Amino acid sequence: MIGLLKGTVEHVTTNPILVVVGGVGYNVYVPDNLRGKLTKQEILFIHTHVTDDAITLFGFAKEEDLMLFELLLTVSGIGPKTALAIIDRGSQYVRGAINKNDVDFFTMIPRLGKKNAQKIIIELRNKLGAITELDLAAGDGETKPIRQALESMGFGREEIMEALKNVGGTTVEEKIREALKYLGKP
């Protein structure tokens, strides 16, 4: 499967665009907002979509857009063209709409009704939480001292991340105490 294209961008006025790599031209569908920002030389992260009768390439400037696109495809009823239209609204806004349960954000997208919008929110909320966990694992923000304290007590990274998702508290000490209570449950 094709995962990345680095080449010369041609014909950006329509979708798909044409990306020439090593003398071979690839038709790549990109979000409309990206089409206007493309330069002559580009690197695109690619999702290769294979069906019975076609192989279609979808390209993104950022890897996080590709990851969100692929997560959207896991929702039943959401195809690649609809997922591309969702990504066109901006990944940060899509994540925000999912976190805020904003059904209206999704229903403004062509070919996306209320039921599918609700499915996206329900099915991706937990999956997006998994992506957020990667940020927590990097040790940023206030979770770092909590993680370090729990790791020093012998808890594994997976257990800690699960506990952090399920605890309250406002101070670091309260969060550690809540995490210990959560981790102590059989």
pLDDT tens column, 95-141: 988 888 888 899 899 888 899 999 999 889 878 764 444 343 334 45
Confidence of residue 146 (pLDDT cuts 50, 70, 90): confident
pLDDT tens column, 73-83: 999 999 999 99
For 28, phi then psi, to 5°, come to -130, 125
pTM: predicted TM-score of the whole model, two decimal places = 0.66
pLDDT tens column, 40-77: 889 999 999 999 999 999 999 999 999 999 999 999 99
The count of residues in the chain is 186
Q: 140 CB contacts (<8 Å, ≥6 apart)?
A: none
CA angle 135, 140, 145 (to 5 degrees): 120
Nearest to 116 by CA among 88, 76, 68: 76
With beta carbons less than 8 A apart as the criterion, state whether 120 and 111 touch.
Answer: no
